[in-house]
Amino acid sequence: MGEAPALFVDYLQNGCGLKSNCCQTATVIGSKRYLIGKTVGESTMSIDVRIFDECRREWVIPTVLGKKPEQCNGHSAVSLNGDRILIIRKDSLPADSIWILEVDSKYVRDQKKVLETEVVAWSKGVIGDTEKPIVISGPSGVGKGTLISMLMKEFPSMFGFSVSHTTRAPRGMEQNGVHYHFTERIVMEKDIKDGKFLEFASVHGNLYGTSIEAVEAVADAGKRCILDIDVQGARSVRASSLEATFIFICPPSMEELEKRLRSRGTEAEEQVLKRLRNAEAEIEQGKSPGIFDHFLYNDNLEECYKNLKKLLGLDGTTAPTHRPSAKVVDLPLNHTVLKADNKILIAGSENASKNLIVLDVSLLIGGAPWRTRGLHIFEVDSSSDCLNEIIQLS
């Protein structure tokens, strides 16, 4: 076993691994060969995918879901777990160099049943982990927005707010992209149909929804995402693949809620009564088992905020979870890769450095239609015992 590193390094440095200067790669999974890359004669800006079915001896053009990576000057392709293909792009920024093509994941299998055709799905690879998002729900006027504002003001570097989309008109000083993404109904309906929304609902005659990209953008910034959505939306999120903490904010009484709604002075009597009817229905739905993990009663704002912080481990009795920023490692523009179980070894083809880059794919989380997170990357000296240990453990 002590000679293993030398064999691996020699194999890589002599270019015997999977090279990154290919315009196309062919990866075999089961009875299918996945051809990934630029097709000769085509001018599309994204990476193309074609499948050759060995059993039927024919080419298949799959339905490709998710945002596609842009074309590059070459890439490496490595099969992972028999259900996805890891793509390492050449000539790319570190944040855009790793992508996952899912070919037989649960999400892809489900979409095949719905669409009744061959399906593959792209998911962007992200270095590092992220905290579970927080879903905060409750009837209009219960104080959700105030509690969220207090949380973000006290912990600005820890939390980020998912900005929802809506088809309603802006109110007062509301700004597009800050309070909501204001959009046309026809545009939002198309995006919903295209699967770009985590949840959506019709509330008081207007569409509201949370896009997948809005949640991912917060996580990409290294923050824990907070979603302010109604019970109908929370139910949709609970049924999705997103793992989150669900909190329902309750009013002390319907009388107090009515008082708060009327004190706003922004809506007509008919609208206030409509909100009260909807609030009663939401509170009843919120009590349904299996949706919410925690219930907080907002009788006193400061006390409710104190209890919210306690739930999130921010009251001083429990040290908050801190996830260090992912280390940025520049991948060599020209490289060779070799898979050793759940480790991907990457060596620069034109680099005199003895260091190898190790990409650990053992703790992947997420996946299409979301980003794929949990990738870990580090450098090792190819002549050190550390590489030996990595290979022995693989």
Residues 35 and 183 placed together within one structural domain of the fold: no
Between 169 and 141, the higher pLDDT residue: 169
Report for 26-40, 83-97, 100-114, 193-207: range of highest mean pLDDT: 100-114
Phi and psi, residue 116, nearest 5°: 55, 45
> Given pLDDT bands bounded at 50, 70 and 90, which one contains residue 273?
confident
Residue 166 and residue 94 share a domain: no
Question: Which residue, chain included where needed, has tokens 């739905």?
Answer: 285
Give the whole-angstrom CA distance, residue 381 versus residue 128: 22
What amino acid occupies position 222? G
The domain containing residue 81 runs over which residues? 24-129+326-393
**Banded pLDDT at 4 (limits 50, 70, 90):** very low
- Rounded Cα gap, residues 319 and 81, in angstroms: 36
Q: How much is the mean pLDDT over the chain?
A: 83
The least confident of 40-49, 162-171, 227-236 is 40-49
For the domain that residue 145 is a member of, what is the CATH number?
Answer: 3.40.50.300
98 and 156 belong to one structural domain: no
Q: What is the pLDDT of residues 35-44, one digit of tens each?
A: 998 765 555 6
Spatial neighbors of 225 by CB under 8 A, at least 6 apart, are: 133, 134, 159, 160, 161, 162, 215, 218, 219
- 78 SS3 class: strand
Tell whether 150 and 224 lie within a shared domain. Answer: yes
Domain membership flag for residue 1: no
More reliable by pLDDT, 276 or 382: 276
What is the C-alpha separation between 198 and 164, in angstroms, rounded? 11
Residue 75 shares a structural domain with residue 142: no
Average pLDDT for residues 103-119, to the nearest whole number? 94
C-alpha dihedral (79, 83, 88, 89), degrees to nearest 10: 120
Measured in residues, the chain has a length of: 394
Say if residue 390's pLDDT is above 80.
no
- Alpha-carbon gap, residue 140 to 149, rounded angstroms: 16
Please give the C-alpha separations between residue 103 and each of 20, 33, 64, 106, 220, in angstroms, as whole numbers: 21, 11, 10, 9, 25
Structure tokens at 238: 């609970």
| One domain, residues 166 and 231 | yes
d(CA 355, CA 29): 31
Mean pLDDT over residues 18-40, rounded? 79
Q: Which two tokens stand for residue 205?
A: 């005659």
- Assess whether pLDDT exceeds 90 at residue 329: no
Q: What is the pLDDT of residues 333-361, one digit of tens each?
A: 677 888 888 898 888 766 555 678 889 99
As a whole number, mean pLDDT of residues 178-207 equals 91
Of 257, 286, 312, the residue that ends a domain is 312
Give the pLDDT of residue 12: 42
pLDDT at 306: 95
Tell me: do 352 and 231 sit in the same domain.
no
Q: Are residues 249 and 147 in the same domain?
A: yes
The answer to whether the Cα torsion of 300, 301, 304, 309 is positive or negative is: negative
Q: Is 264 marked active-site?
A: yes
Helices 269-286 and 254-264, interaxial angle, to 10°? Answer: 140
Please indicate, yes or no, if residue 120 is contained in any of the structural domains. yes
Peptide bond connecting 94 to the previous residue in cis, omega within 30 degrees of 0: no
Active-site option among 185, 264, 277, 323: 264
Q: Is 235 a catalytic residue?
A: no
Q: Which of 129, 21, 113 is CA-nearest to residue 72?
A: 21
Q: Does 4 map to a domain?
A: no
Contact indicator for 207, 213 with CB cutoff of 8 Å: no
Question: β-pairing, 63-65 with 119-127?
Answer: parallel
Catalytic residue among 171, 185, 262, 323: 171
Q: DSSP assignment of 312-381, as one string?
A: TT-SSSSPPP--PPPPP-PPPSSEEEEEETTEEEEEETT----EEEEEE-TT-EE-TTS-EEEEEEEEEE
Instruction: Tell me, yes or no, whether 159 and 91 share the same domain.
Output: no
Residue scoring higher pLDDT (341 or 303)? 303
Structural domain contains residue 354: yes
In the annotation, is 50 catalytic?
A: no
Same domain, yes or no: 117 and 163: no
In a domain, 307, yes or no: yes
Q: Give domain status of residue 143, yes or no.
A: yes
- Residue 5 in this model has a pLDDT that exceeds 50: no
Distance CA 172, CA 57 (A): 63
Are 346 and 270 in the same domain? no
pLDDT category at 190 given cuts 50, 70, 90 is very high
The number of domains in the chain is 2
Token couple for 383: 């002549």
- Give CA–CA dist 351/331, Å, rounded: 11
What's the whole-number mean pLDDT along residues 253-275? Answer: 75
- Each residue's pLDDT tens digit, 79-89: 999 999 999 98
Write down which residue in 252, 286, 312 finishes a domain.
Answer: 312
**Angle separating helix axes 144-154 and 301-311, nearest 10 degrees:** 60
Same domain, 148 and 245: yes
In the set 89, 235, 275, 373, the catalytic residue is: 275
Last residue of a domain, one of 279, 312, 345: 312
How confident is the model over 250-267, as a mean pLDDT? Answer: 76
Cβ-contact 360, 16 below 8 angstroms: no
Mean pLDDT of 95-111: 92
- Residue recorded with tokens 């792009």: 89
Residues 258 and 273: their CA atoms lie apart, in Å, by 9
- Lowest mean pLDDT of 168-172, 214-218, 359-363, 384-388, name the range: 384-388
